[in-house]
Chain A
Amino acid sequence: MALLHTVNKSPYQCNTLESCLEHVGEGDVVLLIEDGVYAAVKGGKAAEMIARAQGVKICALSADVKARGLADKLVDGVEVVDYGGFVDLVTETDKTQAWL
């Protein structure tokens, strides 16, 4: 039973990413969207949290990454997906938990 977790808030403004990562399980996918993509910036404190998440795929939405000027700043291991990829993740997983 794989879950898709979406995180749309900056990890530096509230604890949604932290809470999300404490609830993920093996095989789950975390998709960073909107201000959630700031978690994937290389060298940031939040990127360390992401690096500690074992057995979980971390993705970031391309449109939100590019809009914020982060395309060449992402930490290794984060997969960038477009809107079509977002839809694929929804269909590949059993259900979605949105960490608003």
Chain B
Amino acid sequence: MSEVKNFLYVNRKAPHGTIYALESLEVVLIGAAFEQDVALAFLDDGVFQLVKGWDTSELGVKNFQPAYTALGDYDISKIYVERESLEERGLSEDDLLELTYEDEDDDWAEKSSIRIVSREEMAQIMRDADVILSF
């Protein structure tokens, strides 16, 4: 059972209105410990999870946004964000968190994990995955 599969976590929900975003993040971080090939996809309202600058103090809930920046420490270097979903919501890449990883094949250079892809590319990414987990 040493075969590495590629897992795609598909995120389609906004961060605070439901528990999906937080649950997804927890499962991703647990799953990453099993040394599988992990990628994350953010489309539809899921792109709102990556909008930087959360201040949850008035809301009285824990701010789990810093946990996204830990993804790089778990060797998660493929974070796909759908361009059309961003544009429909008045967002651009500049509004998103800066998520990075250290590339072991390039002298541990720090690189961005975020890859903005088209809807068509996202469809192909889903088809190419061995396993899809949906949130």
Contacts and interface: CB of A to CB of B under 8 A. Distances in A.
A73 B95 contact: yes
B56 A67 contact: yes
B5 interface: no
A93 interface: no
Given A12-B45, A44-B90, A73-B90, A34 B58 contact: no
Nearest to B90: A43
B90 to A, nearest CB: 3
A66 B59 contact: yes
B14 A42 contact: no
A73 B94 CA distance: 12
Interface in A35-66: 35, 38, 41-45, 47, 62-64, 66
Interface in B1-55: 13-17, 44-45, 48, 51-55
B61 A67 contact: yes
A13 B58 CA distance: 25
Contacts of A44: 88-91
Contact of B16 (A9, A43, A67): A67
Nearest to A36: B17
Nearest to A64: B59
B90 A41 contact: yes
A47 B52 CA distance: 20
Nearest to B15: A68
Interface in B85-118: 88-91, 95
B38 to A, nearest CB: 25
A60 B106 CA distance: 46
A35 B89 CA distance: 13
A42 B59 CA distance: 22
Interface string A56-94: 000000111011111111000000001100000000000
Nearest to A47: B90
Contacts of B16: 34-35, 64, 67-68
Given A66-B58, A67-B56, A69-B51, A41 B17 contact: no
A96 interface: no
Among all A-B residue pairs, the 9 with the closest Cβ atoms: A43-B90, A44-B90, A69-B53, A63-B58, A35-B17, A66-B55, A67-B59, A67-B56, A69-B51
